[in-house]
Structure 1
């Protein structure tokens, strides 16, 4: 059965409670002050109809390790007091109506999971975010964040990075190549410019890359892919990148999906595509290829979805 109605201050009577899970109910109204729940380490209010601001008092719950407020209608800024929760490991504020800038988060030294996506957050990504060395999952997608990417090279545990659908600009920092645990990188639909750094080729754990719909330019060479043996998805359409590799180049990866529309691959058909035996989706539209379709192309057509 589901609970409905509003949270009441009666919750403050459970002063020794350590875990509170009211997720997937029909609770509405504001989140009341929970500062008296001084032993609380786990709080899940996700998937309700909660509205109003995130109360400052949540920052008083110093033992808190897990905080889930996703899928509500919370609005206003993220209170800076959340940045004082040094034991916090999971912070999920996905799919609300939060706005304003990101507060300093450098004190969240235990954080492994941070999802602030699908809100209305704006302003810069604070440099302090790059100090969270235990962070494994970071998504700030579908906001209005702007400015350049800070250095993220100290995020040595990071496996998933999603900054897509924002208003980020400037270059992709070379420090990105220090994220040796990274498996999924999504920077799609921003205004990032300049070349993809050569350090990109050091990301030996990468499986999926999406840098499509930006303002990237410059040359992609074999060095950019030299250690990407696990890569299966590569999306770079909507940029002005130039792929320049040797005619006999055989990539170290096997792609299932390749999208490089509007990038420059021509004038000859890129012969390395023949080596991609697992390819099921291919977009090389408007890529400067001229002449006739090579006869060998018929060998890969049966496995394509396009």
Structure 2
């Protein structure tokens, strides 16, 4: 019965690349994208994300995208044990998501993202009480919701992405609904035409939330609400281009202890003092420890600024592999050890160098006749031993206009 259901499902699809040519024979568990339970043999997984199908002809490999579309057949209802449905990046040509999807009550994973579904998201999806992953992100402008009340039925949800879905009709209640999902870990609502960012929230229920992306919504010059900073488990907070205004609210030390990524860029009306805000961020546990050993693999890195943290250990020689680096700011950390010429070997584009150690155990050890590969306008060194002789290599820096040499252990005359 399940094999026949899959064949009926196939009849409603376009398959110009013949990617479903493997859907023949009696054992449907060997078909492309079909997964079965090893013990019962029932179909539990359908993974037809658009992917290249490659064939080798005369020694050359030719790949075509697997593009499905036309309709979703209700024969899927005969897959009684289906718990995983993945149809991302296929082309369903603007048809609405069919209501019967809400009857696949064993589904725990549903991804229909960027599959060109249109119309209104059916509220019947709220019947999928076992869902822990739901992704309906889109690039169509006519994909929307009438409301988000159906989300309250997805009490097990851990991942929700509705990127670019038009949620304007849910602007007044989206937060109250989302706040009812206690196990939510990631929430992606970027570019959803939300216009209301409530300033108060009686209690924060989604205490498991780690990733929150509300970027590219027009919150009508709202203030940044205090409740955002009560979500202490956040590792990623993205509020870019949201038309926010005013000052950043006061934050208790330790509130953002787990924060790894914060983006509040392109909010041109945010104003006020930020010193206290950054002081709070300085207590984050992720800003501690040594420089990662694989830092040299960031071959396109242009700016590296680790200033004012609680980092320690040596400054790795692999820094010298960052050939695109223009700014190297390692100020006010607990560095120690020796910096040699090899640290700067390939930094030909460097225009700013800032070194500082609170331990006074950092030593710059270069030869007297060293000529750097860079020409710096700005050099800043504090608690870094450059002496005892005055550094002769400074004479080669013809564009220098700002220089700080503080606690540099120099026992010499300043040369003319």
Please give the TM-score of this superposition, normalised by the length of structure 1. 0.69
Partner of residue 191, structure 1: 243
Call closer, same or farther: CA 1:94–1:112 in 2, change over 3 Å. Answer: same
Please report how far the alpha carbon of residue 129 of structure 1 lies from its aligned counterpart in structure 2 after TM superposition.
0.4
Please report how far the alpha carbon of residue 200 of structure 1 lies from its aligned counterpart in structure 2 after TM superposition.
6.7
Call closer, same or farther: CA 1:107–1:251 in 2, change over 3 Å. Answer: farther
Higher relative contact order (CA 8 A, sep 6+): 1
Partner of residue 213, structure 2: 162
Please report how far the alpha carbon of residue 148 of structure 1 lies from its aligned counterpart in structure 2 after TM superposition.
1.5
Confirm or deny: 8 A CA contact 1:23 1:46 kept in the other structure: yes
Provide the C-alpha distance between the structure 2 equivalents of 1:54 and 1:128, rounded to a whole number of angstroms: 21
Provide the C-alpha distance between the structure 2 equivalents of 1:141 and 1:277, rounded to a whole number of angstroms: 38
Confirm or deny: 8 A CA contact 1:102 1:126 kept in the other structure: no
Counterpart mapping for 1:40-59 below 5 A: 40-51=82-93, 52-59=95-102
SS at match of 1:132: coil
1:222 and 2:271 correspond: no
Residues 127-181 of structure 1: CA deviation (Å, up to 9, x unaligned): 1101212111111112212111474822211111111111124222222222222
Residues 77-108 of structure 1: CA deviation (Å, up to 9, x unaligned): 22111122211011011234222455221221
Partner of residue 134, structure 1: 183
Confirm or deny: 8 A CA contact 2:168 2:195 kept in the other structure: yes
1:7 and 2:24 correspond: no
Confirm or deny: 8 A CA contact 1:30 1:53 kept in the other structure: no
1:211 to 246, 254, 264: 264
SS at match of 1:73: coil
Call closer, same or farther: CA 1:73–1:93 in 2, change over 3 Å. Answer: same
Aligned-residue CA RMSD (Å): 3.7
Provide the C-alpha distance between the structure 1 equivalents of 2:67 and 2:189, rounded to a whole number of angstroms: 26
Call closer, same or farther: CA 1:146–1:223 in 2, change over 3 Å. Answer: closer
Please report how far the alpha carbon of residue 251 of structure 1 lies from its aligned counterpart in structure 2 after TM superposition.
4.3
Provide the C-alpha distance between the structure 1 equivalents of 2:139 and 2:13, rounded to a whole number of angstroms: 18
Provide the C-alpha distance between the structure 2 equivalents of 1:158 and 1:281, rounded to a whole number of angstroms: 40
SS at match of 1:146: coil
Confirm or deny: 8 A CA contact 1:158 1:182 kept in the other structure: yes
Confirm or deny: 8 A CA contact 1:184 1:208 kept in the other structure: yes
Provide the C-alpha distance between the structure 2 equivalents of 1:281 and 1:26, rounded to a whole number of angstroms: 49
Q: Greater CA radius of gyration, 1 or 2?
A: 2
Provide the C-alpha distance between the structure 1 equivalents of 2:148 and 2:351, rounded to a whole number of angstroms: 40
SS at match of 2:153: coil
1:93 to 136, 157, 164: 136
Call closer, same or farther: CA 1:173–1:35 in 2, change over 3 Å. Answer: farther
Aligned structure 1 segments of 4 or more residues deviating by more than 6 angstroms:
none
Provide the C-alpha distance between the structure 1 equivalents of 2:79 and 2:259, rounded to a whole number of angstroms: 42
Please report how far the alpha carbon of residue 187 of structure 1 lies from its aligned counterpart in structure 2 after TM superposition.
0.5
1:107 and 2:153 correspond: yes
Call closer, same or farther: CA 1:115–1:71 in 2, change over 3 Å. Answer: same
Confirm or deny: 8 A CA contact 1:154 1:178 kept in the other structure: no
Please give the TM-score of this superposition, normalised by the length of structure 2. 0.52
Provide the C-alpha distance between the structure 2 equivalents of 1:225 and 1:106, rounded to a whole number of angstroms: 38
Count of aligned positions: 248
SS at match of 1:81: helix
1:299 and 2:380 correspond: yes
